[in-house]
Every structure is written in structure tokens, then in C-alpha cells.
């Protein structure tokens, strides 16, 4: 007995395997590229530290460049005074509840500017805050 379709019988089932393959590839591409899209394209020379675990989580990035320009994710701000309302609006979005806010400041930025930015980030409603650093290369014994 032959259990497969006969030669004169129509195949009426849809093969979903290729659709699933394409969907999984798109999900993988999204997972790989999403972390790269959150930070602004401003060149920033980050301070050194021993760990940098916080940047691997989903976050909102606040970037302060050496020339004093500031950005929230990819949005360039006209002045530092725009940081609090812009960040508050970003944190008020439903998908950003409890999100980590990462402050990326160039090493040439004065500490006073970084301190004021931190207080603005707190005032905007951020509960989880991290300061981005670059990994220090240490010689192993």
C-alpha cells in the first residue's frame, strides 16, 4: 500500500518550513543589530574600568561628546537643558519602563558636566543608571 499522494491527487497542504526558516533568520539579524542601533554616532573616548556588563542589556543611551554636544540614543539635542524633558519622554514610553540608562561621556568632558547630566537623568525618572566605560587591557600573570 502506498501512503503518499497519488499521481493524479492535488497537494493542498502549505509547506511552512521555508517560512519558519526565513522568520528565524530575520529574528537572529534583529538580535545582532539591535544593540548597535541604540548608541549615537558621536565619537566618544570612554574612561577605562575593569567591567562593562551594563552595556549588554537593553538600554537608553545618553552620549556627551568632547565638544559638549549631547544626544539621547540617536536624537541630537540642541542644548543640555533639553536632556531632562527628552529623556523623560523616552522613559515614559511603555516599552522603556525600568530600562537601564547608560551615560556615555568622553574623558575630555569636565566632571561637573557629567555630574549635572547624572542629576538630570535621575530627575527625568531613571531608576537604573550606568556609566559606560571601555574595558581596561590588563596583562595576565
| Domain-located, residue 53 | yes
Task: Report the number of distinct structural domains present in the chain.
Answer: 1
| Domain-located, residue 43 | yes
| Domain-located, residue 6 | no
| Domain-located, residue 125 | yes
pLDDT for residue 27: 93
pLDDT for residue 74: 85
| Domain-located, residue 12 | no
| Domain-located, residue 124 | yes
pLDDT in 10s for each residue of the chain, 141 residues: 556 656 777 878 888 888 999 999 999 998 888 776 666 667 777 776 665 554 445 788 899 988 888 998 888 888 888 889 999 988 888 877 788 898 988 888 888 988 999 999 999 988 888 888 777 665 554
| Domain-located, residue 119 | yes
Cα angle 105-110-115, degrees, rounded to a multiple of 5:
70
What are the DSSP calls for 122-136, one per residue? HHTT-SEEEE--EEP
| Domain-located, residue 81 | yes
Domain hosting residue 125, numbered range: 39-135
DSSP H helices, 38-98, are 83-92
- pTM (whole model) above 0.75: no
pLDDT for residue 78: 84
CATH number for the domain spanning 75: value is 3.30.420.270
Mutual angle of helices 111-123 and 83-92, in 10-degree steps: 40
Distances (CA, A) of 11 to 4, 7, 8, 16, 87: 10, 10, 10, 14, 56
Whether 47 and 107 have beta carbons less than 8 Å apart is answered as yes
Amino acid at each position: 500500500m502506498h501512503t503518499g499522494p497519488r499521481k493524479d491527487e492535488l497537494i493542498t497542504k502549505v509547506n511552512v518550513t521555508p517560512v519558519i526558516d526565513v522568520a528565524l533568520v530575520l529574528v537572529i539579524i534583529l538580535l545582532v543589530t539591535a544593540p548597535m542601533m541604540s548608541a549615537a554616532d558621536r565619537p566618544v573616548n570612554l574612561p577605562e574600568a575593569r567591567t562593562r556588563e551594563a552595556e549588554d542589556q537593553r538600554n537608553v543611551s545618553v552620549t556627551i561628546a568632547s565638544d559638549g554636544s549631547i544626544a539621547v540614543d540617536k536624537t541630537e539635542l540642541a542644548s543640555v537643558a533639553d536632556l531632562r524633558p527628552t529623556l523623560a519622554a523616552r522613559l515614559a514610553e511603555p516599552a522603556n519602563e525600568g530600562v537601564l540608562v547608560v551615560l556615555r561621556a568622553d574623558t575630555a568632558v569636565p566632571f561637573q558636566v557629567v555630574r549635572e547630566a547624572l542629576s538630570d537623568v535621575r530627575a527625568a525618572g531613571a531608576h537604573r543608571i550606568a556609566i559606560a566605560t571601555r574595558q581596561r587591557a590588563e596583562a595576565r600573570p
